[in-house]
Structure 1
Amino acid sequence: MDYKDTLLMPKTDFQMRGNLGVREVEFQQRWNDIDLYKKVLEKNKASIPFILHDGPPYANGDIHIGHALNKILKDFVLRYQTMKGRYVPYVPGWDTHGLPIETALTKKGVKRKEISLVEYRKLCREYALDQVEKQKGQFARLGILGEWENPYITLTNDYEANQIKIFAKMVDRGLIYKGLKPVYWSPSSESALAEAEIEYQDKQSISVYVAFPSIDAKDTLKDASFLIWTTTPWTLPANLAISVHPRFNYSVVEVKGNRYVVAETLVETLASTLNWDEYKVVDTIKGKDLEFMKYKHPLYGRISPIIVGEHVTDSDGTGLVHTAPGHGEDDYRIGKVYDLDVFCPVDDKGFMTEDAGPFAGQYYEVANEAIVVALEEKGVLLKQNKFTHSYPHDWRTRKPVIFRATPQWFASIDQLKQDLLNEVKKADWLPLWGELRISNMITGREDWCISRQRAWGVPIPVFYAENDEPIMTQEVLEHISNLFREFGSDIWYEKEAKDLLPKGFTHPGSPNNIFRKETDIMDVWFDSGTSHSVLHARNLPYPADLYLEGSDQYRGWFNSSLITGVAAYGQAPYKKVVSHGFVLDGQGKKMSKSLGNAVDPLVVMKQQGADLLRLWVATVDYQSDVRISKEMMNQISEGYRKIRNTLRFMLGNLDGFDPMTQYINYDFRSKLNKVMTLKYNTLVKQVLLAYEKYEFDKVYRLVVPFMTNDLSAFYLDYTKDILYIEKEHDAERKGVQSTLYDITLGVLKLLTPILPHTASEAYLLLPYKAKEDIYLENLPEISTKKEDDLMKAFKVFDHMRENVLKKLEQARELKVIGKSLAAQLDMVVTQEQRDAIDFLDMKIHQVLIVSKVNLSVGSKFEVLVSPAIGETCDRCWNIVDHVHENGLCDRCQQVIGSK
């Protein structure tokens, strides 16, 4: 007889297949329909705020997998803090100025020089806003809730106005100045670059050893030459000095009638490199004693001095440094000490100027070769050599940059350096090495070049009087800020200088009331670095609780935000900084479209769902570089399937359960139900700690084994005999369902930050839910319940159970039994094990999922597996001593008979 209809089998609408690529869009629409984001804010509005300030991604192109990693990590934090009960508004942002947008317009056929600057900037703005709209939808598709209709965008009037206010604060502190200094200059972009806009690539260069003949020298130095080594021959036209170290010893080396001055420690190395088969050291002189000696430039006949500086090393080269203040940071600094000119005979496009003499008009890389030839013709080139080395390149054009002195606007770092370092110490850094990394960057950082020679950006709000004196009074800057707030920064280009200044403005440097405007724009890192102004603008606490970005932002946004925050408000804009690595392919290689190894998050979301991407993020150690591939995503999909199937089984077994009327409190549950609750309580404690410490991979490694091992492989497995077989309102069955309800709801809460779509779907199918969505629930509270004796007894039993499972598996392999219900166990247990079994007060055959168990006490644990003897119940499939005429065992007979 078929008793299937008498069994209480699981029932749920939670499907085995999530179909996330389609269904997630429906869940997100529901979140929008019920205004879920606003509701969670309203729920927690009286609580302590938690502010994650969003580092603005650049508005250009579709989002990539690095974007997805970053935004998902942020959402883990936002959702955790929200469900912890904090007030967590999330204001996404976008960085919208700079060269990539200009380049994108050029590729679209826009000819910059054929339209007005105002019209060109309008096209830039339209393009940027289109990109923002596109990326906005793509970020939201990841399952992220926030102020999507009211983000911050660096091109909006209010943002630019607040940026000028911060600039004004820095001016007021005397931190902004204009100077002629060597900066990273990109001939391909025709603009100065920030350090954060530099990337290093291999480049082939020429290195040369050049002899500069001494002038008016006496004794052993008479007719000697100062030997220098350089990898940038094109800078030799700008040579104005040779630097030596004051405390180094320098040798005068005679080689075939010629004398050269080199560092004493490098003589042997140079003899080998320059093939000096026979040489002798005729004198040794202290570096400081060479100071102010003279030499003659072999190409120009200029007379220049020997100077001393601590920057000189003897690790390579000759120990004498060719010094061109217009082409190097160290050269510039030492040049200031000796009042040398900042001479730079290279123009904006990288061509040599008339000051370079015979090399004028040549591109600097072409001049490089020509200068080497000229040195050889003069007989001063001892050796040339081509070599490949890591060299700075413009991160956008991928072309080499040069160090070049140009008039630029700078923010002084020296005045702030100690304050910056103090603020770094106050912040928390994760990983811990982040503190050292940014401290070293700040310690070694020179003044920040904040000007750029581009069209698309925030203009530097400086006027010049007729005598070229810069005008940037607080009155003027406040006026410009107000104009930008009302009209936007395009007004700078639409109006004449006199119409932009406050009404009636006069200046002693302009007797004719004629003024001109600065044409440079601000570095885009100044744009994004002042984004903390959004906190004040939106009445959010300053500093933010968290900045979370990629590890490249130590020299980028973390750095510029720190400088502007400390300069404007005397305090870092963040309390904690978390950084993550880059995303590589499955073999650890950098992703690129040309290699075909890129994983597109938009494709993954469409095919597998955002929750799969989110689960991937929750499995990686994001503090290092992480990997992703189709194969890895298939593994993640398998992990998700296990989670989903477990949830489905749990929900199915809660069918018909009403926790409002049928719930059995913990104190009245059987021992193993209590064990599972206590195990779940431990899970809650560990998971909440992992979230608190930003250890999201640990959350995954805690929750999934709990679901697959503690639940699926143990609790849910043996309780089938209770849930399916017993009467619907049997007390033990209700105890199991009460335990299941607690754990199901709790696990869904713990998973919500990581799998919000899946958790929301499952929550809505619970037999009772207190809220419209699980995101309106709080995370489980940490329980203080402790039952040490109970857990100790279970530990003893669980160890015994593992051994029984091995024996059952062996018996199956030997064909002694089929399913475990066909088995009888004859067990010899120790007294400790017997006591544990008795203490747990369980039906041991039911928990071990066999039909019969015979127990005896002995000195050591032993198990004999044999086929159970008896008759099989047609309903519960247990083998019992006898069944009734209808094929039922006593238990099933009682259940059926009482229905």
Structure 2
Amino acid sequence: MSADQKSYKDTLTLPQTTFPMRGDLVKKEPGRLEKWEKSNLYQRIQKRRQDQGAPKFILHDGPPFANGDVHMGTALNKVLKDLVLKSKTMAGFETPFIPGWDCHGLPIEFKVVQQARDLAPAEVRRRSAEFAKKFIDIQRASFRRLGVFGDWENPYLTLDPAYEADIIRVFAKMVESGMVYQSKKPVQWSYGAHTALAEAEVEYKDKVSPSIFVKFPLTTQPLDLGVDVSMAIWTTTPWTLPANLGIALHPEFTYVVGKFENAETGATENFVIVRELLEQFADKTGYKLVETLAETKGKHFEGLEAQHPFLDRTSRVINANFVTTDTGTGAVHIAPGHGADDYVAGQQNQLGLVSPVNDDGEFTEEVGLDELVGQHVFKSNKRIIEILEERGVLLGQEEYQHSYPHCWRSKTPIIFRSVEQFFISLDTLREKALSEIDEVKWLPAWGRNRIYGTVEARPDWCISRQRTWGVPLPVFFDADDKAILDAELVRKIADYAEKEGTNFWFEMSDEELAELFGLPAGSKRCRDTLDVWIDSGCSHVAVVDRRPELHGPADLYLEATDQHRGWFQSSLMLSVAYRGSAPYKTVLTHGFVVDKDKKKLSKSEAEKAGKPIDAAHFYNKYGADIVRLWVSSVNWQTEVPFGEDLFKQVTEPYRRLRNTLRILLGNLDGFNPETDRVAAADMPLVDRWILERLNEVISECRKAYEQLEFNKVFTKINEFCAADLSSIYVDMLKDRMYCDASSGVRRRASQTAMFDVFSAVSRLLAPILVYTADEAWEHAGFEGSIHELDFPEVNPDFTDGSATTKVDRLLELRHTVQTAIEAQVQAKTFNKNNEAAVTLTVPADEPVLDLLNDREFATEFFIVADVHVTTGDEVSATAAMTEHPMCPRCRRYEPVANEAEGLCERCDSVVSA
């Protein structure tokens, strides 16, 4: 390059910006976060909206469990919440956010007790509180690092005395309304964790169980047939046979009383089998119907007695509508102590209740067979089957794989076991709760049916837990062991708990507690704790009603799909019980994070497979903005596939978006929006076009944010930056930006457009790329944080679409021109677009003919040396090597205006000036 050529470089206006190409997010984000927190950015944002009298939008945070690092599923949830709140803030709302943690319950206590056995209750509670607080700090640091704004210094914790007191006051309200009762009923019992379980604490896994057919000889014979007849039952829980008290038939099904012959042994028996299952019964047992003695409805067997197969008592035949013809015999083994349906049927028919199982899942003396006492129920299956075989009442057996409930923490299969527990009667709540569901907006819409179905079918709520780490069940028993259910007493307990915390319940003696609350001598406290779902389900009272910056009902609850039977439901039921209405206006349900095989990604399974799933791994490796961009890119309405390979794909659009901001900033060097703006009427066509396109992006992104469709925001901005900005606008205007006079009208018009694009795109990206957008805003020279601003508004000067219509047509013609150029490049006629002289044929009535005949506009738009326009019937183009020389300054092929320097007319005027 000659000295003369080097001197021209000084006459060019090349992009200049301090905004770096590399994000270096992992290093830079913590410093920006520290700056935000030192300057109280969250508080400034809220104060600004308060001063404006802005309407409030309340998203109530569902509390994550304080028992581990932040999983990517939890990160998805928290970032989604932040996207909602940041977008609502920039749309003009005041959005106070009080984060919270669920601190009590089985997962924490389980880990504490595993680490040290035989601890006193007070020590278990002390250690559990320390454990919870440790993980609150760990999770809080992660959420902050992810750029989630909120009142992190004042979160709500379910272990705070004031919160615990409000839980007890909600309980008092239910006692006052007569909803709380004590009963010995079958509950889902975890022998691994020694406690009853709520439905939401149960997970289903495949289990192989022994499936058996058992003979129950009738002691009172049906239909005066003059022959001995037996009932035949089918069960996958042989261990519950010691508790059998009845056999259920459907009253309207047709049952065959027949003579059955075993093809293998030749033995014959008379059985009662429902007609639809005769063939299946024969396949499973070998007993085939050889003679029908009678056919009759199940209701005609009601009241008959059958001999228990190995105990000295009889079982009564009853009718029940839950009997099906899916499998078995149509005669269902009823053990009221071991199943919800069995219990109800037993109560309706006065069968009584037997439940000979202790806390460890082992048989007690009530089992009726000495050899089974002390044996675990599942290990007893084999021996019970042997006893049946020895007594000649085992008709058939096989292994049966089915979905079976397991304890979510100990991972052991649960047992249905009857114990004295406290319950909330849902009969008084159900109808109102169901009507409130239809007053709520559910996103996606199928959420309504899911929660409606679970509430409709839910049995009474077992609320007592045999645990230490939780809010005490605030009930006393009198000297006769009768529960004292008194609302005023419960409120006294709540007031004391608010001052002292609930540890007193576990540290004081029964005598001291009785004296403290004015109870008769001999009164004893209940040693159970309340179901942890009551803790979180009371947050609308303990947080939303308590905090002055919040209001109820909340505008939005946002959690994963499992919360229809968890927090969404417990909050609904307790709010209906407490105030008669739902605690939320809208409920958003997002999918689980799953692996590429659509399996739910649990932390334990991911660790076993060596696949990182902690959020910290990803923001420490890629940056929080990449995590947030991933969240914005997914469709939260469905399961969210996740893996490191999938995650890496998000880095490419991040680079594109960052580079777009950098290019815009570079071209805005030297531009003062206060003094250098060009009016809309004076703008060239392409600049008007990009601002019309920007208006569309603003409008569609704001609508998508309002509808919480963040993936549409991601897609729209990504497409705008990749196609309209980078591929067309910026590429087309490089020559103008670099080579025009720095203060020329055309260049200033483009800078005006680029300033508006940068300002709008940065703000639209701010809820997603919290760190990057704020960094770019700072490098643009603005004061304060981008997060204190509003979303951009549509510019009324660029709404008529006239520029878009013309440019759309020009882009169609550009495709024709480009095809002709590429053919000549391949033929090696010339090497680059800007060497091409194009002849373009268009119809005589071509709407953009005037623009095509404007050489300055046409050569810039098509990035060529010359455009010659002719008219014809069809659009076509040819290309040849231009005859013009290359201007040494702008490198375009143009007519020479300064022979001595070889400069084109535009460059000569700029250099001369």
Q: Normalized against structure 2, the TM-score is what? A: 0.95
Whether the aligned pair in 2 keeps the contact of 1:793 and 1:839 (CA below 8 Å) is no
| Counterpart secondary structure, 1:426 | coil
Match of 1:606 in 2: 620
Give 1:853 deviation, angstroms.
0.9
**Aligned counterpart in structure 1 of residue 166 of structure 2, from 124, 146, 162:** 162
Distance in 2, Cα, partners of 1:140 & 1:525: 26
Q: Which amino acid aligns with 2:134?
A: D
Q: Which amino acid aligns with 2:833?
A: S
**Aligned counterpart in structure 2 of residue 774 of structure 1, from 762, 778, 786:** 786
Whether the aligned pair in 1 keeps the contact of 2:853 and 2:868 (CA below 8 Å) is no
Q: Which amino acid aligns with 1:452?
A: R
Q: Which amino acid aligns with 1:833?
A: E
Give 1:835 deviation, angstroms.
3.2
Match of 1:232 in 2: 237
Whether the aligned pair in 2 keeps the contact of 1:797 and 1:837 (CA below 8 Å) is no
Give 1:883 deviation, angstroms.
4.7
Aligned pairs (5 A) from 1:197-346 = 197-217=201-221, 219-220=224-225, 222-256=227-261, 257-277=268-288, 279-346=290-357
| Counterpart secondary structure, 2:398 | strand
Cα distance change of structure 1 residues 241 and 588 upon mapping to structure 2, 3 Å threshold: closer
**Aligned counterpart in structure 2 of residue 547 of structure 1, from 557, 570, 576:** 557
Give 1:807 deviation, angstroms.
3.4
Q: Are 2:571 and 1:567 equivalent residues in the alignment?
A: no
**Aligned counterpart in structure 2 of residue 5 of structure 1, from 6, 10, 13:** 10
Give 1:601 deviation, angstroms.
2.0
| Counterpart secondary structure, 2:903 | coil
Give 1:503 deviation, angstroms.
5.8
Whether the aligned pair in 1 keeps the contact of 2:514 and 2:523 (CA below 8 Å) is no
Q: Which amino acid aligns with 2:672?
A: D
Q: Which amino acid aligns with 1:685?
A: S
Match of 1:130 in 2: 134
**Aligned counterpart in structure 2 of residue 459 of structure 1, from 464, 472, 478:** 472
Q: Which amino acid aligns with 1:803?
A: T
Match of 1:476 in 2: 489
Cα distance change of structure 1 residues 832 and 299 upon mapping to structure 2, 3 Å threshold: farther
Distance in 1, Cα, partners of 2:850 & 2:514: 89
Q: Are 2:379 and 1:366 equivalent residues in the alignment?
A: yes
Distance in 1, Cα, partners of 2:819 & 2:714: 28
Q: Are 2:830 and 1:826 equivalent residues in the alignment?
A: no
Q: Are 2:802 and 1:798 equivalent residues in the alignment?
A: no
Match of 1:191 in 2: 195
Q: Which runs of 4+ in 1 moved over 4 A?
A: 501-504, 839-842
Give 1:431 deviation, angstroms.
1.3
Give 1:834 deviation, angstroms.
4.7
Give 1:389 deviation, angstroms.
1.5
Give 1:119 deviation, angstroms.
2.0
| Counterpart secondary structure, 2:189 | strand
Distance in 2, Cα, partners of 1:331 & 1:244: 12
Give 1:804 deviation, angstroms.
2.5
| Counterpart secondary structure, 1:710 | helix
Match of 1:631 in 2: 645
| Counterpart secondary structure, 1:833 | coil
Distance in 1, Cα, partners of 2:847 & 2:429: 72
Match of 1:47 in 2: 54
Match of 2:105 in 1: 98
**Aligned counterpart in structure 2 of residue 401 of structure 1, from 390, 394, 414:** 414
Whether the aligned pair in 2 keeps the contact of 1:48 and 1:87 (CA below 8 Å) is yes
Distance in 2, Cα, partners of 1:502 & 1:51: 44
**CA displacement 1:82-119 (0-9 Å, x = unmatched):** 11110101111111111221232244x322x2x42112
Match of 1:887 in 2: 902
Give 1:632 deviation, angstroms.
2.0
Distance in 1, Cα, partners of 2:201 & 2:850: 68
Q: Are 2:654 and 1:643 equivalent residues in the alignment?
A: no
Whether the aligned pair in 1 keeps the contact of 2:210 and 2:399 (CA below 8 Å) is yes
| Counterpart secondary structure, 1:843 | helix
Whether the aligned pair in 1 keeps the contact of 2:180 and 2:423 (CA below 8 Å) is yes
Cα distance change of structure 1 residues 821 and 263 upon mapping to structure 2, 3 Å threshold: same
Cα distance change of structure 1 residues 805 and 700 upon mapping to structure 2, 3 Å threshold: farther
Give 1:742 deviation, angstroms.
0.7
Give 1:316 deviation, angstroms.
1.1
Q: Are 2:537 and 1:529 equivalent residues in the alignment?
A: yes
- Identity over aligned pairs, percent: 39
Q: Which amino acid aligns with 1:40?
A: I
Distance in 1, Cα, partners of 2:757 & 2:778: 16
**Aligned counterpart in structure 1 of residue 739 of structure 2, from 707, 725, 729:** 725
Match of 2:523 in 1: 515
Match of 1:617 in 2: 631
Match of 2:589 in 1: 579
| Counterpart secondary structure, 1:458 | coil
Q: Are 2:880 and 1:866 equivalent residues in the alignment?
A: yes
| Counterpart secondary structure, 2:107 | helix
Q: CA RMSD in A?
A: 1.7
Whether the aligned pair in 2 keeps the contact of 1:463 and 1:497 (CA below 8 Å) is no
Whether the aligned pair in 2 keeps the contact of 1:793 and 1:840 (CA below 8 Å) is no
Whether the aligned pair in 2 keeps the contact of 1:410 and 1:447 (CA below 8 Å) is yes
Whether the aligned pair in 2 keeps the contact of 1:821 and 1:878 (CA below 8 Å) is yes
Aligned pairs (5 A) from 1:750-761 = 750-761=764-775
Match of 1:897 in 2: 912
Distance in 1, Cα, partners of 2:845 & 2:336: 84
Give 1:788 deviation, angstroms.
3.9
Whether the aligned pair in 1 keeps the contact of 2:533 and 2:570 (CA below 8 Å) is yes
- Where structure 1 has 5 or more consecutive residues not aligned to the other structure, the ranges are none
Give 1:411 deviation, angstroms.
1.2
Q: Which amino acid aligns with 2:76?
A: L
| Counterpart secondary structure, 2:59 | coil
Deviates more, 1:354-363 or 1:703-712: 354-363
Deviates more, 1:828-837 or 1:528-537: 828-837
Give 1:122 deviation, angstroms.
0.8
Q: How many positions carry a matched residue from both structures?
A: 888
Q: Normalized against structure 1, the TM-score is what? A: 0.96
Give 1:603 deviation, angstroms.
1.8
Whether the aligned pair in 1 keeps the contact of 2:817 and 2:878 (CA below 8 Å) is no
Distance in 2, Cα, partners of 1:516 & 1:165: 20
| Counterpart secondary structure, 1:748 | helix
Match of 1:676 in 2: 690
Give 1:162 deviation, angstroms.
1.0
Give 1:587 deviation, angstroms.
4.5
Distance in 1, Cα, partners of 2:10 & 2:484: 89
Distance in 2, Cα, partners of 1:766 & 1:331: 71
Distance in 2, Cα, partners of 1:362 & 1:42: 65
Whether the aligned pair in 2 keeps the contact of 1:618 and 1:754 (CA below 8 Å) is yes
Distance in 2, Cα, partners of 1:178 & 1:888: 97
**Aligned counterpart in structure 2 of residue 538 of structure 1, from 539, 543, 547:** 547
Distance in 1, Cα, partners of 2:361 & 2:517: 43
Distance in 1, Cα, partners of 2:861 & 2:200: 62
**CA displacement 1:174-196 (0-9 Å, x = unmatched):** 11111111111111111101111
Distance in 1, Cα, partners of 2:389 & 2:220: 24
- Where structure 2 has 5 or more consecutive residues not aligned to the other structure, the ranges are 262-267
